[in-house]
A and B are shown apart, each in its own frame.
Chain A
Amino acid sequence: MRMKRRKRTVLTRIRDVLFCAIIYLFLFLPISVIVVNSMNATTSKPYLAWKGFTLAWYVRLFDNTELLGSFRNTMIIAVVSTLLSTIIGTMGAVGMYKYKFKGKSIIDGLLYIPVVIPEIVLGISLLTIFSKVNIPRGMLTLILAHVTFSIPFVIFNVRARLAGYDNSIDEASMDLGANRIQTFFHVTLPVLAPGIAGGALLAFTLSIDDIIISYFVNGQVKTYPLRVMESIKSGVAPDVNALSTLILIATIVFVVLTQSGILNKNKKR
């Protein structure tokens, strides 16, 4: 009986490990292909056959001004739109939490619409608006578009944090002599910070990723994803893989840093 049980636990263990391994393989195999291919010495399209190891693509990457320029555009758009959508979204979430007004539930519901409607619809409607009011398509329209689809995500994140928010800490702050603005910066904002940071991170990720909406409103400006999409027609060039690998490394470093708490000031919370 005892033997049997032990045998079974060993079997379950093997099964569990195998199961996990498959999941992680499934998740990381596609990523690893990019990393591997970024060091492929092949020079002929479609850049798939393995011709030996090289780091040449990482060097050539820095000569490819078009690719680097598109990456710079993407970063500028991501940073600016994240900043704007985080500020607007946080204010919106706090306002909707603190004040009661008529039609609040309708406004609440409307928030979900930009999230659930197909991006292609949002892209077309944004393009229509920008053409009607005659804003030249370019960086500005890209940023505006990214702010538009990021705001709801920021609001959802901040609101999740607000759900557990004890309003009496704001009252306590004012009771102790802080005015409304001081209270916001000393109490409300720091307590909401994790939710705001989560929302900002999401907005940033969405912005870097976006293709469909950007495709409609970019004008002559190329973002990194749009540039990659174009190059796919002739196979993904290894220098694109190289840049993707660098982005991947930066992301992993960031995740490791946050998870280990190095970036967190207050580990205790």
Chain B
Amino acid sequence: MGYIVELENVDKIYGENHVVKSLNLKVEEGEFLTLLGSSGCGKTTTLRMIAGFEEPTNGNIRVEGEAIEDKEPYERDVNTVFQSYALFPHMTIYDNIAYGLKMKKVPKDEVQERVLHMMDLVQLGGFEKRYPSQLSGGQKQRVAIARALINRPKVLLLDEPLGALDLKLRKQMQLELKRLQKKLNITFIYVTHDQEEALTMSDRIAIMHDGILDQLGTPTEIYEKPATRFVATFIGETNIFDGAVADVKDGQVQVTIENGIISAKDFMSKSGQYVTISVRPEKMKFRDTPTTDFTIPAVVKDYVYVGSIIKCVVELPNGNEIRIERLAGQELPELGTTIYPYWDMEDAVVIHGQEQEMLRAMDSIQFS
């Protein structure tokens, strides 16, 4: 499959702010790719560089193999859906959607046909004569999408398009967007900070953190094999243990953490390395006695009921809290008792090269 958008060693520096750091990203034709990250991670800047509103400080951006970093936004075959919708307030819905075609000097008959077709597609038939101020948030969003799609772009860029909508409408629009993308078979590059939205909609997710692309993969890969400490904590809930590798044998490592030993399956570690181990709450198990592989005691502190799931909060001797998750009705330890958490070796993810992140995490520990 060909790459429709390629970013090669792209940097963006504002004054002393290094917003995007040598980013390499290849977007496949027809895929739904999400740039995910917390605010200030460089995801919107990346999108704006593809659209042409920002110029990369270094590096190349190619669309269909053609370098575009020197082209003006109006010379690029990509269109954008803005977070604020950015509808033209002085134009009717019809004129808003027709704008791109009029600029391209498309004959009037064809404009009308394509606009009306597009309005049907986003379920806005009959709204031609209204003004943006007369529409609800969800309707404005549909106009913004229709307006961006009417030029039949090769790539549609979406900058947190659902951010301003309420939860219910957002869920509905997520499904609609996904359906639209499949139907039109256009590449979508979607920016969001909402990890659930990213998991629901994307073919692939690119997680950005401090201007760096931490991981690029399918939702499953990213959830089950997080590549960095940040990805593990950002996507879903997880329990994080930082420690040093004590012993390696037969693809299994024993890691010394504060107050004891934990273990995981891993072929990459060497003795003495610092590693981070991430275990999802639903993979956690527990028993009454320590084993050679798991020696950390924990006291059951609290229960949280979340509908069909029960979360059990247990406290380690150093004060860190970890979470064990069970379906309602399954067996859980009693409050106040001491348990020894463990997990199946293959359920833990060992993450390497995260010393910086570990130090940062240590800095943020609050002593009470």
Contacts and interface: CB of A to CB of B under 8 A. Distances in A.
B249 to A, nearest CB: 58
A171 B103 contact: no
A101 to B, nearest CB: 15
A26 B131 CA distance: 42
B157 to A, nearest CB: 9
Interface centre among A173, A174, A176 (most CB of B within 10 A): A176
Contact of A177 (B82, B89, B103, B133): B103
A119 to B, nearest CB: 37
Contact of B88 (A172, A177, A182, A268): A172
Nearest to B53: A171
A173 B73 CA distance: 9
Given A172-B80, A269-B131, A178 B103 contact: yes
B82 A171 contact: yes
B100 interface: yes
Contact of B79 (A175, A178, A187): A175
A211 to B, nearest CB: 38
Given A166-B84, A168-B84, A268-B133, A174 B90 contact: no
Interface centre among A169, A172, A191 (most CB of B within 10 A): A172
B86 A169 contact: yes
B120 interface: no
Interface string A161-191: 0000010110111111111001000110011
Contacts of A44: none
B74 A175 contact: yes
B147 interface: yes
B223 interface: no
Interface string A92-131: 0000000000000000000000000000000000000000
Interface string A252-269: 000000000000001011
A173 B86 CA distance: 9
Contacts of B90: 190-191, 193, 266, 269
A177 B134 contact: no
Nearest to B83: A168
A268 B135 CA distance: 12
A176 B156 CA distance: 12
A178 B88 CA distance: 13
Contacts of A172: 80, 82, 86-88, 147
Contacts of B99: 173, 176, 178, 186
A177 B86 contact: no
B80 A191 contact: no
A162 to B, nearest CB: 14
A172 B90 CA distance: 14
A179 B104 CA distance: 11
B188 to A, nearest CB: 15
B247 interface: no
A175 B80 contact: yes
A21 to B, nearest CB: 38
A178 B87 CA distance: 15
Contacts of A171: 51, 53, 73, 80, 82, 86
B35 interface: no
A268 B130 CA distance: 9
Given A169-B87, A268-B133, A269-B89, A175 B73 contact: yes
A175 B151 CA distance: 10
Interface centre among B80, B83, B133 (most CB of A within 10 A): B80
B103 A176 contact: yes
A176 B100 contact: yes
B134 A268 contact: yes
Nearest to B97: A176
B148 interface: yes
B130 to A, nearest CB: 8
Interface in B55-92: 72-74, 78-80, 82-84, 86-90
Interface in A121-172: 166, 168-169, 171-172
A176 B151 contact: yes
A266 B73 CA distance: 30
A175 B147 CA distance: 10
B131 A268 contact: yes
A186 B88 CA distance: 9
Contact of B133 (A173, A186, A191, A269): A269
B93 to A, nearest CB: 12
Contacts of B83: 168
Contact of A182 (B52, B53, B73, B103): B103
8 contacts: A166-B84, A172-B86, A174-B52, A176-B99, A177-B74, A177-B104, A182-B103, A269-B89
Interface of A: 166, 168-169, 171-179, 182, 186-187, 190-191, 193, 266, 268-269
Given A168-B82, A177-B100, 15 more contacts: A169-B88, A171-B51, A171-B73, A171-B82, A173-B99, A174-B52, A175-B51, A176-B79, A176-B100, A177-B103, A177-B104, A177-B151, A190-B90, A191-B88, A269-B133
Interface of B: 51-53, 72-74, 78-80, 82-84, 86-90, 99-100, 103-104, 131, 133-134, 147-148, 151
Can you list the 5 inter-chain pairs with the closest CB atoms, starting with the nearest?
A176-B100, A168-B86, A177-B103, A172-B86, A174-B73
